[in-house]
């Protein structure tokens, strides 16, 4: 009785655990392609250098509790880079004391397995590559960061010593080319699109997120370096300083 899902992705609508480095992310899988996995009603738990998160729990302890009671949804929409995800499994298949489950054969997307007639199907643990292979590629660009930019953001955020701080990227009217990029360190806000990198999150509001799709954030250091640089393939015009653009 009843279905409101419009996708053949067997993980669509299923609460999953995604692991990226020292971070675990839990949320309902909303959409995914070969570049990104989007979770909704999500939460992220990050082990710091002492092996525990801000709540004093290890990732395993956090997941044990989440597996028993569910997840407090602190992030409405969380976008993860697919190639950073080390494992992605339904939360119901997470067993705190068990060895990682062997990959199961993926459920063909063309054969809905849900007993209620909807498009979702129960699946076992499987690799991201196998799951992505069942999906038609979707051209959806996301923000990219060069290694240099990531390293510099990571360095700056660690200097702030404020857990949960992310890099907020924004756009606003102004600059000699019409729109101006903005960078600041900030905490997540309701409605943010969150892109997870190693050691920090990039935060974008509903205005900035679509504008920054396909943009690469770079960082140039040294005497001739110009700091953070946005490289926007969709910009029709940019100013020489790189601070503003026209989309």
Partner 1 sequence: MPYPEVMVAPMRAELTSAGVTELRSAADVDAFFADSAESTLVLINSVCGCAAGSARPAFKLSMDHARRPRRFATVFAGQDLEATSRMREVIGDVPPSSPSLALMKDGRLIHFVPRHMIEGRDAESIADDLKAAFDRVLPEEE
User: Of residues 72, 100, 189, 236, which one binds partner 1 by CB under 8 A?
Assistant: 72
Can you say how many angstroms the Cα of residue 189 is from the centroid of all Cα atoms in its chain? 15
User: Of residues 92, 155, 234, 237, which one binds partner 1 by CB under 8 A?
Assistant: 92
How far is residue 216 from each of residues 1, 76, 141, 143, 169, measured CA to CA in Å?
45, 24, 11, 6, 12
The answer to whether 2 contacts partner 1 (rule: CB under 8 A) is yes
What are the residue ranges of helices labelled H in the chain?
59-69, 128-133, 147-160, 208-211
Q: How far is the CB of 38 from partner 1 (least distance, A)?
A: 17
Per CB under 8 A, the segment of 1-9, 140-148, 174-182, 227-235 that binds partner 1 is 1-9
CA distance 69 to 115: 25
Nearest to 75 by CA among 44, 45, 36: 44
User: Of residues 40, 91, 109, 179, which one binds partner 1 by CB under 8 A?
Assistant: 91
Per CB under 8 A, the segment of 30-38, 110-118, 187-195, 218-226 that binds partner 1 is 110-118
Q: Please, which residues bridge with residue 202 across strands?
A: 167, 195
Per CB under 8 A, the segment of 63-71, 145-153, 177-185, 232-240 that binds partner 1 is 63-71
CA distance 201 to 165: 8
The answer to whether 117 contacts partner 1 (rule: CB under 8 A) is yes
Residue pair 110/119 in contact (Cβ under 8 Å)? The answer is: no
Q: How far is the CB of 46 from partner 1 (least distance, A)?
A: 19
The answer to whether 13 contacts partner 1 (rule: CB under 8 A) is yes
The answer to whether 123 contacts partner 1 (rule: CB under 8 A) is yes
Query: Which parts of this chain interact with partner 1 (CB under 8 A)?
Result: 1-5, 13-15, 67-73, 90-92, 114-123
């Amino acid at each position: 009785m009843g279905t409101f899902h419009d996708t053949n992705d067997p993980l669509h609508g299923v609460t999953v655990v995604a692991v990226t480095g020292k971070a675990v992310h839990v949320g309902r899988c909303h959409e995914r392609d070969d570049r990104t996995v989007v979770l909704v009603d999500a939460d992220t738990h990050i082990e710091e250098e002492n092996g525990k998160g801000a709540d004093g729990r290890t990732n395993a302890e956090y997941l044990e509790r989440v597996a028993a009671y569910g997840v407090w949804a602190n992030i409405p929409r969380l976008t993860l880079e697919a190639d950073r995800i080390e494992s992605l499994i339904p939360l119901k298949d997470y067993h705190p004391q068990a060895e990682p489950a062997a990959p199961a054969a993926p459920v063909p997307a063309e054969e809905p397995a849900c007993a209620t007639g909807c498009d979702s199907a129960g699946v076992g643990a499987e690799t991201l590559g196998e799951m992505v292979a069942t999906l038609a590629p979707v051209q959806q660009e996301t923000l990219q960061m060069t290694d240099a930019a990531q390293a510099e953001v990571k360095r700056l955020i660690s200097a702030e010593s404020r857990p949960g701080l992310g890099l907020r990227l924004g756009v606003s009217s102004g600059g000699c080319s019409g729109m101006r990029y903005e960078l600041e360190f900030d905490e997540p806000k309701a409605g943010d699109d969150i892109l997870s990198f190693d050691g920090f999150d990039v935060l974008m509001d509903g205005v900035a997120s679509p504008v920054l799709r396909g943009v690469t954030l770079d960082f140039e250091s040294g005497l001739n370096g110009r700091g953070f640089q946005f490289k926007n393939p969709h910009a029709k015009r940019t100013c020489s300083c790189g601070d503003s653009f026209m989309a």
